[in-house]
Amino acid sequence: MRNSRQLGLTLLLAVTLPDGVALSIEASEAGDGARLAAQVSPDRLMHTVLELSKFDGRQSGTAGGEAAAGYIAARLPQATLQSVPIKFIQVSAPVEAQIQRGSHVKPLENGSDFLPILNGATTRLVSVPVLFVGYGIADQAHGLDEYEGLSAAGKIVLFLRGQPKGYAGRATHTEKARTAQAKGAVACLTVTGPVLSPYEIRRGMSQQPMALYEEETAKPLPGLWITPSTAELLLEPTGMTLETFQHEMDRLPKKRSTETGSRLTVEMEQRQVAGTASNVLALWPGSDPLLRHQIIILGAHYDHFGIQGGLLFPGADDNASGTAVVLEVARLFAQEKIKAKRSILFIAFAGEEQGLVGSQYYVSHAFEPIPQTKAMINVDHAGAGNGKITVGLSGIGKPTAQAAAEKIGMGEQIELFGYFPGGDHVPFVEARVPTATIVSSGPHPDFHRSSDTQDKVHPEILASATRYTLSLLLTLANEGEEK
């Protein structure tokens, strides 16, 4: 374990009194949050987003991912690289698929009509029947078995993401894929229906297919995430639509599965590769003798999906934007020589898209004991949306989060919620560290898509997220010790 002096810089902010006595001043006194927030540079933020969008999609474990880590390390004071073992997926180009119904054949395009599920499964399926299995749930204990009375053997199953309102259980994509495989399916298709949950709406969920790393299994099932229009084309012979199906299931969850009368041909080659990624860390030591051993983490994942099936995923909003926030805050700390009572650890995490690999590794291999971490702020996809900032809190009071917004005149711009179930804050929550997750509110239509390019990031939205992040960080770093 390294001590704090080995990890970062010790820069002091001081003024000289007339008698020559140096008086240390805390950031809350020396440069109030509003003055510091006013120095956030939208141009510099956007420059960082542009630069980070150039590293071949920054997939952890690849040369592009490590080059991105080097770029970030050069921008953080005395950065340290933490080596993280990782496995990543490469999908070869091209990926081909087509729908067949009778003599009619409809070719599908990777990126426009579907995206491969990233799990390492290679397949060559020719004219396989498609079976619609609703939400893909087989759970008799909770009264919903959408496979009952049907055979999925040798077929491709189509299911919706999520679950109906009245279903009391919980079904993840990985669980649905395992169920399909256990039922004899040779591949699966997933689609997002038009009826979204309040959480999905709040997070700006799109109906379009997204790149997705599936949880690792010994024998993964080949899968594609398809567009709603592709799903509707497959369902056309049944007379069913995604919207009517969802409304009927929300009214009464029961089996509505059926043969579609459509067939699908898929050819796809994937491989899993073992590699090494890097978390990038830099410590800013605290100034208070009683509190400096306590750490506030400001983190964001910098990785994305790389190049898959010939498609480049730039990951500008997700999460070059959040990484840019961390680097801009660190720049201001260095430029203004900000002193905070507690130490601040800046972290750019690897492997978030592969299942929070980098943040889980850090929590298990922390440079200082995790109990010394008093709070963790996670910034993710912070550059698109409607101009408001969403904050998900776990263990941090809403009054504290609201006060940080009020200090910089953003009281009406912040939307406060409880715990978010996904992101690099999760391993910290599981380790009982209070967390705040900062994202930009509203739609993120290019989330996990190859269209997530730098021109889709809004400079002022990103700057607002940065200003609030800075204020919350200073609030948590300087508030008094709880009694």
DSSP codes joined into one string, 10-63:
----EEE-TTS-EEE--HHHHS-HHHHHHT--HHHHHHHHHHHTTSTT--TTSH
Residue of 227, 213, 223, 212 whose CA lies nearest to 186: 223
Query: For tokens 């993964």, what's the residue?
Result: 220
Domains and CATH numbers, the chain: 4-86+274-478 (3.40.630.10), 93-268 (3.50.30.30)
Q: Give the lowest-confidence range in 67-71, 200-204, 299-303, 385-389.
A: 200-204
Q: How confident is the model at residue 480 (pLDDT cuts 50, 70, 90)?
A: confident
- pLDDT of 200: 77
221 and 128 Cβ atoms separated by less than 8 Å: no
d(CA 117, CA 212): 6
| Chain mean position to CA 420 | 11
Report the DSSP beta bridge partners of residue 364.
none
| Chain mean position to CA 382 | 11
Q: How confident is the model at residue 473 (pLDDT cuts 50, 70, 90)?
A: very high
Residue 144: is its pLDDT beyond 80? yes
Q: How confident is the model at residue 415 (pLDDT cuts 50, 70, 90)?
A: very high
Residue of 474, 362, 471 whose CA lies nearest to 426: 362
Query: For tokens 């056309």, what's the residue?
Result: 236
d(CA 361, CA 296): 18
Report the pLDDT averaged over residues 246-267: 96
Query: For tokens 């002091």, what's the residue?
Result: 12
pLDDT in tens, 310-360: 999 999 999 999 999 999 999 999 999 999 999 999 999 999 999 999 999
Q: Between 398-406 and 459-478, two packed helices, what is the crossing angle to 10 degrees?
A: 120
Query: For tokens 């001590």, what's the residue?
Result: 3
Cβ neighbourhood burial of 195 (10 Å; 0-12, 13-18, 19+)? middle
**Dihedral, CA of residue 347, residue 348, residue 350 and residue 354, to nearest 10:** 90
- Cα–Cα distances in Å, from 245 out to 52, 76, 101, 209? 41, 51, 22, 19
Total number of residues shown for the chain: 483
DSSP secondary structure letter of residue 123: E
Could you give the residue ranges of the DSSP H alpha helices within 228-320?
228-235, 242-251
Report the pLDDT averaged over residues 375-402: 97
d(CA 91, CA 59): 12
461 and 383 Cβ atoms separated by less than 8 Å: yes
The more confident residue out of 156 and 78 is: 156
Q: How confident is the model at residue 32 (pLDDT cuts 50, 70, 90)?
A: low
211 and 115 Cβ atoms separated by less than 8 Å: yes
DSSP secondary structure letter of residue 55: S
d(CA 313, CA 323): 16
**Beta-strand runs (E) in 212-342:** 212-213, 223-226, 258-268, 270-284, 295-301, 306-308, 311-313
Report the pLDDT averaged over residues 25-40: 67
d(CA 176, CA 178): 5
pLDDT in tens, 427-457: 999 999 999 999 999 999 999 999 999 999 9
436 and 391 Cβ atoms separated by less than 8 Å: yes
- pLDDT of 154: 98
